[in-house]
Structures are given as C-alpha cells and as structure tokens.
Amino acid sequence: MTTQLPPGMHIETVDEKIMTLNVGPQHPGSGHMRLIIKVDGDYIVSCDPDPGYVHRGEEKMAEYRNYIQNIPHLERPVIHDSSNILYPYCLGVEELLGIEVPERAKYIRVIAAELNRCIYILYWLAIYGIFLGHSTMFMWPAGDRELFIDLLEAMSGARVTHAYLVPGGVRNDLPSNFEERCLRQVEYFEKRLREYEAIFYQNPILKARTEGSGILSRTDAIRLGTTGSVLRASGVDFDVRKKEPYDVYENLDFQTIVMKEGDSYARSRIPYLEMFESCRIIKDALKKMPKSGSVRTKLKPNPKGGNDEVYRRIESGRGAIGYYIVSNNRPEPYRVKISVGSFRNLICMPYLLKGEKLGNMPAVYWGLNYWPVEADR
Amino acid sequence: MSTIAPQFRLSRFIGSLFDLIFWVILIFSLVGLPIVFIVLFYIKLPVINGQLMTPYLAMTWMADPSRTLPIVKSFMHTTIFRVMAFPGFGFAALLAAATIFVERKFLAKMQLRVGPLYCGKIEGILQLMGDGFKLMSKEIIIPAKADKPIFWLGPLLFVGTAGAFVALIPVAPGWVVANPSVGLLAVFAVIGFFPIIAVLTAWAANSKWTFIGGLRALHQMVAFEIPLILSLLGVVILSGSLNLSQIVQSQEHFWWIAFLPIGAIVFFITILAELERIPFDLPEAESEIVAGWLTEFSGMMYGLIQLGTYKIICICRIIRGSIPWWLEWSNGLASVSAGYYHSRNYNWSCNCTLPWIATF
Amino acid sequence: MHRFLYSPTGLLATLVGEAASSFSPILLLFTFAIVATGPTLILSRMIAPRRTSNPVKFLPMESGQVPQGEGRTHFMMQYYSFVLMFVVFDVASIFLYAWGSSILDLPKSATLPIIGFLAIIFAAFAFALYQAGRKNIW
Amino acid sequence: MSNVIGIIRALNSGVKHLAVKRFTLRYPEQKLKFVGDGFQFNPETGVGIAGLRGRHILFHEHCTGCQLCSVACEGIAEAISMVKVHETWKHNKKAIMPQIDYGKCVFCGLCVDACPFYALYMTNDYELSSFTKSALIYTPAQLAIQPKISQDVEIKIDDRGASHG
Amino acid sequence: MSSGTDKDVEVKDTAEEHSTSSENTKPDSMSKDEAKKFYEEKGLDLSPDVPVKPKPIPAFEKSLADKVSSKFGDKITVDYVRADRIRVTAKRENIVDVAKFIRDELKYDHAESVSGVDYPDSSEIEVIYHLGSYTDEKLGRQIFALATRVPREDVPNPGSDSTRTPSLRDVFYSVEFHERECFEMFGVYFEGHPDMRRLLLPEDWADIPPFRKDFKIKGR
Amino acid sequence: MLKELVNQETAPHATNVLVGKLGDILVKAVGKPFDMAINWGRIYSLWPVHLETACCSVEFGAASSPRYDVERFGIIEAFGSLRQCDLIVVMGTITRKMAPRLRMVYDQMPDPKYVIAMGACAITGGLYFDSYNVLPGIDGVLPVDVYVPGCPPRPETLIQGCMLLQEKIKRTKAK
C-alpha cells in the first residue's frame, strides 16, 4: 500500500507522548529559522533545523552580475559583518584578474575587517544576553557597538552595509584625524569590555545555565567540520588568519584564543576574548600603516576573468568564509559558491540538542554563533 | 415558534443590557445630577447635628474642609473604605502602577538609556496610563478550542486572588482589612491558589506553549512552597503568634533578622521563585516557551494579569516590611537586582527602595 | 466564655462567628477586585474592534505555523516528584506552626517528638536535594 | 561561596552604572553629525571621498544624460530610471535625467562612482519615510533640492562614559 | 525592463568600440615595456584580463598530488596543483575510494563545502568537495578540491533520474547539510545519504532545481 | 417635527427619529474625546512583534539599543507572544517560504494592528528584484501603513517612520 514518496516529502507520524514544538519563525528564541523540536517532557528527543526562510539565491544572482555589481549583493548575507564577507570575494577576484593591491589599502582593509568583527561579535553577544534573559547584556553591547559603527561610518559612509572593500583596494581613503579618533575609541572600548566580565561571564547564574550544556568534544568538532569559535572552544587551534595569512595579517601581533571545555560557556567566551585581540590588531595596524599612498588599483570598466577557478577563505566572526569562484572569460562569474561558517555549524544543532533539556536550547543554539541569513544566503 | 428562538442570542442580549447600563450611567451623570442639585434647592431638608441642613449647607460641606473631615473620617473607618481604597484594592493598584513605572525608569538608567520619555510630557510619567488605554482598546482573542469560561475567568481569578492577598497585609498599626488570628497561615493558603489558576488557564487555552508554561509554573511554585513555609517558622517561634499585626508589634525594639539571617535569605530566594521573577523565570522563559502560560492572553486580559502580578510584588515587599527582617537592606538589594536581571516586558525581580512603605 | 465552652454548639457558633468576622473581609476584597476589574474586560469588549471573519486568528499560537497536534496531550513532566513531595510535606510543615506559636508555653519534653518530626522532614529534603543534583535522572 | 561573591560583584557592576552618563541620543531633538558633506567620488583618481550615504543630490547643470548611473544601477537595484525633463540644459542634449526610486535604492553609492561629470552626489539627508510608495520616487526636480540639515551632536567620551552631550 | 536591456547593449557596444579602437591604434610589434609605457601615456588601465605569468608548482602540494595519482593511476585526473590548492577529478564510481584514501592517508579530515557547477554544454554537473584539515599542522593552508562529474538530464526529475552519485557522508560526516543543499539546488541525488530532504527552498517548490543554467531568473 | 410628535399616527415613527438623532448627537459628543483618549494610548504604546524576517533586524536591534532607545516612544520589543503585540515591523526580505508565515502572524495578532515595511526589500524587493525566491514587496501580503526606505534604514529613519505612524493613528477612528 505504501507508495514511494518523492524525496523531499515525508509524512509526519504523531506520537502521543512526544510533543512537537515549532521554535520559529515567529518565536522570541529563534532567529530567521525554524527548529522542529520534539520534546519528551523537558527533554529534547530530536531537533530538525529548517533553515531557508531567508534564502534569496545570492549565488544564482551573482552569475548575472559583473564583478563590481556583485559587491552590494554579496555583503547582504551578513550586513553587520559586511567587510569580512566581502574580503574573500575581493581576494578571489584579485587572484582571478591578477590585480595587485596597494600596501596602504591592505592595512585599511584589515582595520575595517577587525572593526567589523567587533561589531558582529557585540551584536551576537547582545542577542546571546537577551536570550538568556539578561536584558542589561543586550543593552550594553548594543550601545558599545555604536562606537565602532561610528568609526566605520566615518570610513565608508554607511552604518552597516559599507560596500567598502572592492577588488583592488578600498573605495575611499580614511578621513582626516581618523587614527587619533580610532585609538581613543578603541581604548575606551577596551575599558568597557572589562565591565562585561563581572556582570555576565563571571555571573554564577549564567555559568549555571551554560557550563556543561551542549558539550562538543574535540574529535566531534573536527568530524562535523565546524569552524570558528565552535571549533576553537573544543580545543582545536585553527584560525585562518594564522594558518593561511591573507593581506598583512602575518605582520600583525595577535594570538588565537583556544579553550578546551567545548561547552556553551566556552563557545560564548571565545568571541568575547577575541575582541581584545581585534583591538590589539587595530592598534598595531594603525601604527604600522603607511601614512600616505594609493588605496585603490583602478579596474577596467568590465573586467573579465580567465577560464579559471579560485577558492579563497578568510576568518570571520562566525568562522571561515570561503568563496569558490569559477570564471568563464566573461564579465560575470560562471559560478559563485559561498561556504559560510554558519551553514557549516548548522550540522551541530541536531547533534548537540539531542538529549539536552529544553531550557538549555537558547544557550546551545545561540552559542553556535549562527546567523541564519548568512547560512541561507 | 422557531422564528424567535434562533435569532435570540444570550450574549447579544447581555451585551445590549450592558450597553444600556453604560448609557444610563452616562446620561444620568451628565443630565440627572444637575437636575438633582437644582431640585435640592427647593426641597426642605431635615435637621442634622442641631443644624438645619439646607441645600446650601449641603453644598458647602463639599467645599468646607472642617465640615468634610468628620464625614470622611467616619467613612474611612468603614470596612468598605478599607476594602476599596487605603489598605485594600486601590492602594495596591496605585502602588503596582508606581512600581512598574519606577522600575522601568530605573532599569533604563542602569542600561544607560532614558526609558519612557514622551508620553505625558514630563519624563513619560503617563506611560502606564497609555499602556492601559491601549490594552483596554485591544481586541480580546479567545482561541477556537479553548475552554471559554475558564479562559475568561483566569485573569479575573488572578486579580481577585491578588486582592485577597492584599486583605491580609497590615500596612500601618490598625490599618488592615482582615485581621484573623492565623494570618500567616491564611497567607500561605492564598499563595496556594496561584499555581492552580496558572494550570487552569494554561489547560484552558489549548496551546502547547501555555501548557508547558503552566506545568512549569505549577511545579516551581509548589516546589518552593515548603522552604517558604519553613523559613518563616523561626519568626513565629520568636514572636509567639500567627497574627501578622502581632508579629510586627513584637519587633518594636529589634528585628528578628538579627537572629534569623539564614531564614531571611531562604525567604528572599523562595519569594523570588514564587513570583516567577528572574532568575526563577522558567514558567515565562520567553526564549524557550514563548510567554509561558500567558501566551494566549491578549488585550485587557493580559493587562489584568500584569496588574495582578505587580500587586503581588508590592504585597510581598510589604510582607518583607511587616516582618521587618531586613528593611532598607533588603530593598536596596532588590533594587539592584532589578537592573541586574530582567525578563519579559518589565518583569524585574523586585524593585527600588520606597522607604515609606517600610517605615512604621 | 465558660458558658460557651460547656455547650458544643455555642463553641461552634463562636468559632464560626469569629472566623466569619475575621475572614469575611478577605472574601469581600476578593469579590471587590473582581467587580472592580471585571468591567474593564466588558468595556474592552465593547470599545475594541472585533473581527471574527478570519478563522486563522483563532488558531492556537504556534510560531506562525499551522499547529500540529493538540495542545492538551498526555505530557511527561519530569518534575512530578516535586508535586508528590509537596502533597506529603506541605501539610506536615503547616502543623509545625501550631507547635511553633506555642513553644514557650509547652513543657520541654514536648520538643523531642517535634525534633524527630523535623529530622524526618529534613532527611527527606536532603535526599530530594541530592537527587536534584543528579541532573541525569530528571 | 564563590557564587555569592559572583552575584555581589555582578550587582556592584550594575550599581556602578547608575553613575555612568546616559548614552541616548534624543533623536528628534538631536541629530548626529557626520564626517564630510556626503559621499562624493573623484573619477580621476578612482577614489571616493568619505561621507554619509544619504539621499542623492543632482546638479542639473552638470548632468549630460549619459545614463551611466542608470547602467551602474542596472544589476544592483534598478532604482534609477531616466526620465524626460522639460528643461533643455546646455550639456544635456538628450534632455533626460535620473529619477531615483528610494523604495528600491540600497544606498551603495556605485552610481556616484559611475558619474564622470560630478553631477550626482550623496547628501546627509536620511529622513525619507513616507506613507505611500509613490512618494518615495524622487523626480529630477526633487533631487536637485539641497536638503536642510541641522546635524550638530557628536559623541563625547570622558571619564563618566560616552554620551551625546 | 526592455529599455534597460537596450541601454545595456548600448553601453556594451560602446565599451567594445573603445577597446577595439585602442587595440587598433596599438602597433603590432611592441615589447612589453613599450606597451606599458604606451598604456601609461594613454592613462589606460594596466591590469590584464587574464593573469599571464606562469607560477612555479610548489613541491609539497606536488607530493600530495603524486600520492593520489600513484595510487589511483588513470582513474583520476589531477587538474591543477597550485600554491595551497590541489584539484583532482575522480570518476563517480571510485569517488568513495578516493575520498577514503584522502582521509586516511593524506589526513584531510573535513569538508569545507560541497559545490555544484552546471555545465550544460557537456551535459554534465560537476560536484566539488573542498576538503581541509584541522589535525595536521602542515595541511593548515591546504584546500583539496575533489571533483566528480555526473550526467545531466535536460528534463530533470530530482531523485529518480540518472543524476546521482554516491554520498560521501560516511567518509566525511560534515558534508551532510552541504549535500542536501546540492541536491535541491542541482538535483544531484546522493546515494547512501540518510536524510536526502529539501533544505532551503520552500516546501511547495515545483520548478526545476534553481542553480541549473537553464533556470532563468526574471528578466534575464 | 413637533407636529409630527403630537400627531397620534406619526408619533411612534417620529419618536424613533428623535431618539435616533439624540443618540447620534450623544455618540458624536462622547465619541470624539473618547477616540482621542484611546488613540493617545495607542500612540505611546506600540509593541512590535518579534518576527525577524531578514537582515534589517540588525538595525531594529540598534534602534532599541541605548543610543536610539525607542522605549522613549513607548515602543518596547514585547519579547513574547504575538497576541500582545500591535505593530509588525517587516524587517527586510520576504521569501516565498516566509510569506505564508508572515501572513499567519499578521492574522493572529489582535486588532488594531499596524504594519511598517522596513527596508528596500520589504517595499519593492530591492536588491532581489530578480531573485526566484523573493517577493517583490509585501504589499500583496499585508496592508502597509508606513514605508521606511533604506538598505537597511538607519535607526533614525525607522524612528521617523514610527513618528509618521503615530500621526496616522492620531487621525484614525478608534473602532
């Protein structure tokens, strides 16, 4: 009697004792996605992530736009980390077209990327705070984030969607007295960051909620192919900025933060500690940056790539972002594939949530540093 | 025969009745009252207190404080005044409103922002009135498969039980609505109602979130009730009475907190749990189960439940005052924890120092 | 006073009368709260817009999805033991008040059984707390 | 015990912030000051001049009707369409000028980059909300109007925290 | 929309004219430096469309590629070996063996992405696994691109036509969601995958898989 | 009128007319201040529903952050059930998968409810005008009250949009 259903379709069987909860899309604890969670009492029996609510077909549309027109598009998946998601694209296109980037532009790019990383992490931290019921931890990072937004606004002119990095450099030069202002704000920001320690990270109630929940062992972290803070929280020392330095990261002074516990607490703490490193990088880059010079190599109006392909990656706030670009002797790329950290970490969700208590769900879910818009592309 | 029956609907009939009552009251107050006063001028009145109460005098009573005070005083000692106004319902409701507003501003300051500002010109002082008006003019949605009578009754029962709670609290010497000799036990009896109401409404709403939330509320309130009871035992032993007024009077010289610090801490923690305040906000943990057992409530129903909740908060603060274990100290701590943790709209643990509550 | 003590009905009447006089205000405030706030619900029903044409509005809230299954189901809650403990110990601990309020008038030997009683309660509490620490059995 | 100390430290941290200045910018009364007059572009060096990317301003006397801005927007948002204008300008032989639909515009600034005649800039004006979609379409005449801007508040950092004065 | 395309064509024409005219003025016999000077005087762009300089083949990557090719011989083809990047194409019959060899012998332990590329001209869809390594220090910079080609049908019927390849989920666990995405976007069915369901697209999607080249988006 | 009232035959009808007219006058006299009071309450108590549809939610978060603090206007992100909300801010792109859910969320909210279309994607589709999975604006799904352009709009623009919405509420009838 049972007919063969086409793949992609299945029939739900309802168990009396197991309750199916749709966490999302309209749910205070979900982002732009849905988790189909089955609970037996207070325990999660299974979790089936259902992303795709923001799937906009960026990769398909990139095939119809030339290399410059793709810039505003490809930063949309993570608008609050837009410099970082454009970074590998610019690197890849530069490799395809054989463009050299001026030295000063490289430093400016690194500064923009690090500022943007801080902006991303602060936003994520704010969300993490409010989902653990800590509204002060929403307000403080969301407010301090504005300091860096001001800096990037002065650099590029837009609050979040900067479209600042382009193949060949950056779009405009730094404004006057930027360095002094940047140094002042970064120093103030480091002072502010230490305030979070007492109210959030050393808070016993937060620790009780996050410590020991959703433990991901080192072997599992490698096997599941996780990336970014999830990977480093499980004790794997891997950071693309260190392992495969791009632009001028090899000249700069910073270190990778690694923790061994692999639980939600470690996953929430690593991005926080990385912000201190970002501040170090910014200060170091401001010191080492050439004070004047060109910031952009001019491109042809409609540059064409060869019959070639390239895979470039960088480290963003959510993990490695890789661009796989195939070109085809045309002004448009033949295929663009964005391999993003959020999508790679998505596989952890059913793995970690199974057997957890329902109360640990927000801590585990947002500890994965998951930004649904990026994962859906 | 069947021509009338299908068209007649009880709900519509009752609705029209209420409509009628509304208009009658309105027209009476606009038209009838002036007429009454006009008529009063032309009718002879009896002698009161050796004075002929002319209509003129009756009018001056309203303006002359020396004549008004005796009447107000005698009214103040009636039970109905106590129930309605001072230690009773009106006072608690006003206090609850003040609590919400002060908390909102206080929390905003702690989070480096302003809080309500534009509603009511002066620092958003009318914000709660605005919220109240809005909630009153919102549609009330009853879910399709809900158990309607219980669903309607839920908020009313909640407010009513909170009111019953108010009745037991001595606010000042001699100012208490109900003064039973076993007042403390009555407090526990009233507290025991809240989980039942939560579970009933949760079950009635026929939604998954309310269901889980109601069960969590039940379990949490029930689990913390025995520690709550035991933590107050020490006070009863020391003061030798179960009457709340007598307990208060027994601490005229020094507070029992000096002898019972552990009990005090246990009481503080358990009362937080009983009130579903942060960090014990599992029944309303909005990032897991949308709004717990409040999920399906809309409009004024939600407003009533918020009113009830804040009333209980105020009462519990007064309990802390009337069993003055920590007084300023506790209120200070509570005020800090307000900014420190927060869930739902403005559901902060306890609230800021209002020392005049505790000064008696 | 003695007169009432000798006649059981008189005692009952006294007790009932006292209870009525001291507890009735509670009931009065309970009803007053309902009477005072109930009209807001009716008023709200009168002045608020009501659009009942859309049946989707009355579905249970399910995060923007069409709900699957019933809201009222058999549901295993792992905290059931708390309720059992409550039923047993809540009543028992209320009795402590009877003892506690008159402890100074009682002979000292009366303390012994109550200490035994307390020991039982606290042993059970300790066991419950110990179980609470073992998260895996919740 | 460490838990108690942790809670007390957290409370202390919260209390300290009662003395920190409020960070709020009271928007309708105060407005943020931005770097520069708006985003501009120098086609000769190929590098832009930093500034806020608000709505555009069109200098009629420079616009030649070359459609480069429209073409630049072609694959991005298709916000710019060329419309006939009644005026006949000296440079503009085709008598067409850009008309921008802010319901589509994404404020990327690539049209400004594309304009080789210094005719299109972006200004500091960002208050564009409206009740209808059609009010979001700005004709060339509307685009030529210099926006009134009163942006004077800046972020200040001192010992008592950051504030807006 | 129509006017837009017209404009597009117009500009492309002008651009081509521009480039052809500059080529025409360029004398045929010119050394590289002379050409550079010529371009600089004209104020024209210097960047070539296609990088021309040949890069040396790095030794470490070459050794890795040799290991694979010596093991499998002509079952696989090594497409290129560049700095930090190796690309190998295997037939779909032995892609599982190749992947196992790469995992066990070369110590690549996870897949970074699974991408498909549609080639309608040769009627094939290419599936590329970008593999990386966390455990081996030396492989930190390396990305190993393992590709395979599957036949493509003009009228796709995802799941029940010949566009299928063995799944690598048992070899690299991390490809699970990537393969699901590849399935819905290209219609490549991965045999042996435990949960081959739709992931990102809406439940009622009834069109052909959207990332195929014959799926046209609006107005293009 | 008076004659009709006195006349035995036309009296019932005329009384009805009179009473009806009196009622109209009363409703007008009472209704206007009543409307004003209720609208005043609605203006300063807009609780937006928590529905993040796309990336504009970042700027919505920024608007409720300490810097822009929309709680000044009484707008609190009612972090809970949609049954207690009255404003739905469509934060960006609506995909085909999200559209039915969006409509359902809107349907389940209690009346009166308001819609703000935030960002270019919500207004016209914006960048994704030719995407296969994105709706060209939400006008076909929801009745929009205020359009807030930008990609994403600055928080100031959003606040300006909210003020426009307040103006709109002020001029509508209460029921």
Question: What DSSP letter does each residue of A296-325 carry, written as one string?
Answer: BPPPPSS----S-EEEEEEEETTEEEEEEE
Q: D58 and D144 in contact (C-beta within 8 Å)?
A: yes
Q: Scanning the structure block, which residue is given the tokens 């559209």?
A: F99
To the nearest whole angstrom, how far is the Cα of A171 from the nearest Cα of chain C?
42
Q: Do chains E and A touch (3 or more CB pairs under 8 A)?
A: yes
Q: Which chains touch B (3 or more CB pairs under 8 A)?
A: A, C, D, F
Q: Tell me whether strands E143-151 and E85-90 are parallel, antiparallel or unpaired.
A: parallel
Any chain D CB within 8 A of the CB of A102? no
Please name the chains neighbouring A, where neighbouring means 3+ C-beta pairs under 8 angstroms. B, C, D, E, F
Q: State the Cα torsion B146-B148-B149-B154 to the nearest 10°.
A: 60
The encoded tokens of residue B304 equal 């009533």
Say which residues have a Cβ less than 8 Å from residue F71's Cβ, sequence separation at least 6.
B104, B108, B113, B114, B115, B116, F64
C-alpha A49/C-alpha A26 separation (Å) is 15
Average pLDDT over residues D131-152: 84
User: Does B touch C (3+ CB pairs < 8 Å)?
Assistant: yes
- The reported pLDDT for the residue numbered E45 is 52
Running DSSP on this structure, what letter comes out for residue F140? T
The answer to whether B278 faces chain A, any CB pair under 8 Å, is yes
Residues with Cβ within 8 Å of B135's Cβ and at least 6 positions away in sequence, in order, are B299, B300, B302, B303, C44, F45
Check pLDDT > 50 for residue B357.
no
Average pLDDT over residues F159-163: 89
How high does pLDDT run on average in chain C?
A: 74
Q: Token pair of B159, please?
A: 């407010």
Amino acid in the structure at residue A7? P
* pLDDT of the residue at D41: 82
- Summarize the confidence of residues D9-31 as an average pLDDT: 82
The domain segmentation of chain C, as residue ranges, is: 1-50, 75-138
Q: How far is CA E98 from the centre of its chain?
A: 18
Q: How far apart are the C-alpha atoms of E48 and B163, rounded to whole Å?
A: 83
Interface mutation vs chain A, best among E110, E157, E168, E175, most A CBs within 10 Å: E110
CB-CB under 8 Å, A173 with D108: no
- pLDDT level of residue C13 (50, 70, 90 thresholds): low
What residues contact residue D109 under an 8 Å CB cut-off, 6+ apart?
A157, A158, A163, A171, D39, D41, D48, D53, D122
pLDDT reading at F162 higher than 80: yes
The residue segments making up the domain with residue D52 are: 29-164
Position B279 scores a pLDDT of 66
Q: Helix axis angle, A178-196 relative to A103-131, nearest 10°?
A: 30
**Best of C52, C56, C58, C62 to disrupt the F interface by mutation (most F CBs within 10 Å)?**
C56
pLDDT, tens only, B94-151: 877 777 787 778 778 888 888 888 887 777 888 888 888 888 888 888 888 888 888 8
Distance, in Å, from the CA atom of E69 to the CA atom of E53, rounded to the nearest integer, reads 26
Q: Which residue has the higher pLDDT, A241 or C69?
A: A241
Residue D74, domain member (yes or no):
yes
Q: CB burial class (10 A; 0-12, 13-18, 19+) of residue D59?
A: middle
Question: What integer pLDDT is reported at residue A21 of this predicted model?
Answer: 84
Instruction: State how far residue D87 is from chain A, nearest Cα, in angstroms.
Output: 31
Distance to chain F for E204, nearest Cα, Å: 9
B99 to each of B314, C43, D47, how far by Cα in Å?
A: 8, 25, 57
pLDDT of B258 strictly over 50 = yes
- Note the pLDDT of residue E19: 42
Which residues, numbered 21 to 60 in chain E, qualify as contacts with chain A under a Cβ-Cβ cut-off of 8 Å? 45, 47-52
pLDDT score recorded for residue A1: 40
Q: Are D122 and A157 a contacting pair at CB < 8 A?
A: yes
**Mean pLDDT score of chain B:** 71
Give B54's pLDDT tier (boundaries 50, 70, 90): low
- Pick from A121, A166, A126: nearest CA to A279: A121
Residue B32: phi and psi, rounded to 5, are -65, -45
Instruction: Count how many domains chain B has.
Output: 1
Q: Which residues contact C54 (CB under 8 A, 6 or more apart)?
A: F107
| B120 in contact with A, Cβ within 8 Å | no
Encode chain D in three state secondary structure. CHHHHHHHHHHHHHHHCCCCCCCCCCCCCCCECCCCCCCEEECCCCEEECCCCCCEEECCCCCCCCCHHHHHHHCCCCCEEEEECCCCCCCCCCCEEEEEECCCCCCCCHHHHHCCCCCEEECCCCCCCECCCHHHEECHHHHCCCCCCCCCECCEEECCEEECC
Going by pLDDT thresholds of 50, 70 and 90, the confidence category of residue A358 is: confident
The model's pLDDT over A152-167, given as tens digits with 9 standing for 90+, comes to 888 888 888 888 888 8
Which pLDDT belongs to residue F129? 84
Confidence label for C78 from pLDDT (cuts 50, 70 and 90):
low
Q: Does A225 touch chain B (CB under 8 A)?
A: no
pLDDT at E5 over 50: no
Closest CA–CA distance from residue A185 to any residue of chain E (Å): 34
**Residues of D engaging A, defined by a Cβ cutoff of 8 Å:** 2-3, 6-7, 9-10, 12-14, 17, 23, 34-36, 38-39, 46-53, 72, 74-77, 106-110, 113, 122, 155, 157, 162
| Whether this model's pTM surpasses 0.90 | no
Mean pLDDT, all residues of chain A: 84
List C-alpha distances in Å: F43 to B124, B135, D26, F70: 13, 12, 18, 13
Q: Does D24 touch chain F (CB under 8 A)?
A: yes
Higher pLDDT, D43 or F147: F147
Minimal Cβ distance to A163: which of D13, D14, D109: D109
Average pLDDT over residues A210-225: 86
- Return the higher-pLDDT residue of B356 and C102: C102
Q: Is the peptide bond before E120 cis (omega within 30 degrees of 0)?
A: no
The answer to whether the peptide bond before residue A49 is cis (omega within 30 degrees of 0) is no
Nearest to F83 among B136, B141, B284 (CB): B141
Selection from D33, D15, D6 nearest residue D155 by Cα? D33
Domain that holds residue B278: 83-358
Mean pLDDT computed over E73-100:
84
C86–B226 CB contact, under 8 Å:
yes
Q: Work out the percent of chain A whose per-residue pLDDT is above 90.
A: 2
Query: Nearest C-alpha of chain C: how many angstroms from F3?
Result: 37
* Block residue for tokens 């499998």: E72
Q: What is the CATH number of the domain that holds D122?
A: 3.30.70.20
CA distance to partner chain B, nearest, from residue C130 (Å): 15
Cα–Cα distance, B294 to B181 (Å, whole number): 36
Q: How far is F169 from chain D (nearest CA, A)?
A: 12
Domain count of the fold of chain D? 1
What residues of F are in contact with residue C54 (Cβ under 8 Å)?
A: 107
Q: Are A355 and A255 in contact (CB under 8 A)?
A: no
Interchain pair D129, F146: CB under 8 A: yes
Q: Is C83 helix (H, G, I), strand (E, B) or coil?
A: helix
Contact: E134, A347; criterion CB under 8 Å = no
Percent of chain B scoring above 70 in pLDDT:
67
Comparing CA positions, the residue from F165, F168, F171, F175 lying closest to residue F87 is F165
Which helix (DSSP H) or strand (DSSP E) does residue B51 occupy?
Answer: strand B51-52
d(CA B28, CA E119): 85
Among the partner-chain residues F80, F97, F105, the one whose CB lies closest to the CB of A53 is: F97
| A320 lies within 8 A of chain E by CB | yes
Best of A26, A45, A211, A215 to mutate (most C CBs within 10 Å, chain C): A26
- The topology under which CATH files domain A59-376 is Cytochrome-c3 Hydrogenase; chain B (1.10.645)
Q: Which residues of F120-157 are buried (b: 16+ CB within 10 A; e: fewer)?
A: bbbbbbbbbbbbbbbbbbbbebbebbbbbbbbbbbbbb
Q: Helix, strand, or coil here: E117? A: strand
User: Quick check: is D101 in a domain?
Assistant: yes
Which chains are adjacent to chain C, needing at least 3 Cβ pairs under 8 Å?
Answer: A, B, F
Which phi and psi angles does E58 have, rounded to 5°? -70, 150
CB contact under 8 A, D49 and A172: yes
Helix runs in chain E, H state only? 2-25, 32-42, 59-72, 95-104, 176-186
B278 band by pLDDT with thresholds 50, 70 and 90: low
Which chain B residue has the Cα nearest residue C49? B139
Distance from CA of A204 to the nearest CA of B (A): 11
Q: Cα(A357)–Cα(B266) distance, rounded to whole angstroms?
A: 27
Task: Specify the pairing of strand E164-166 against strand E189-191.
Answer: parallel
Among the four given CATH numbers 3.90.930.60, 3.40.640.10, 3.30.310.50, 3.30.460.80, the one describing domain E59-191: 3.30.460.80
As a whole number of angstroms, the longest Cα–Cα distance in chain A is 77
Nearest CA-CA distance, residue F55 and chain A, Å: 7
Q: pLDDT for B245-257, tens place per residue?
A: 777 777 666 666 6
The confidence band for B332, taking pLDDT boundaries of 50, 70 and 90, is very low
The alpha carbon of residue D152 is apart from the nearest alpha carbon of chain B, in Å, by 20
What pLDDT is attached to residue E209?
85
Q: For B175-229, give the secondary structure using H, E and C.
A: ECCCCCCCHHHHHHHHHCHHHHHHHHHHHHHCCHHHHHHHHHHHHHHHHCHHHHH
Which residues of chain F make contact with C51, given a CB cutoff of 8 A?
Answer: 111
Stretch D20-33: mean pLDDT: 85
Neighbours of B62 (CB within 10 A): 9
- Calpha distance A273→A263 (Å, rounded): 16
pLDDT tens-digit series, residues C29-50: 888 888 888 888 888 887 778 7
Those residues with Cβ within 8 angstroms of residue A224's Cβ, 6 or more apart along the chain or in another chain = A216, A347, A348, A351, E110, E173, E174
User: B252: which residues sit within 8 A by CB, 6+ positions away?
Assistant: none
Among F40, F104, F109, F142, the residue to mutate for chain C (most C Cβ within 10 A): F104
Q: Do A174 and D107 touch (CB under 8 A)?
A: no
pLDDT tens sequence across F61-104:
888 888 888 888 888 876 678 888 888 888 888 888 888 888 88
Predicted confidence at residue B63, as pLDDT, reads 66
Q: Provide the residue type at D66 as one letter.
A: C
Integer-rounded Cα Rg, in Å, for chain B is 24
Neighbours of A231 (CB within 10 A): 30
Confidence of residue B47 (pLDDT cuts 50, 70, 90): low
The 10s digit of each residue's pLDDT in A83-139 is 888 899 988 888 888 888 888 888 998 999 999 999 999 999 988 888 887 778 888
Label each residue of A9-29 as H, E or C. Answer: CCCCCCCCCCEEEEECCCCCC
What is the ipTM for the molecules in this complex? 0.81
The number of C-beta contacts closer than 8 angstroms across D and F is 93
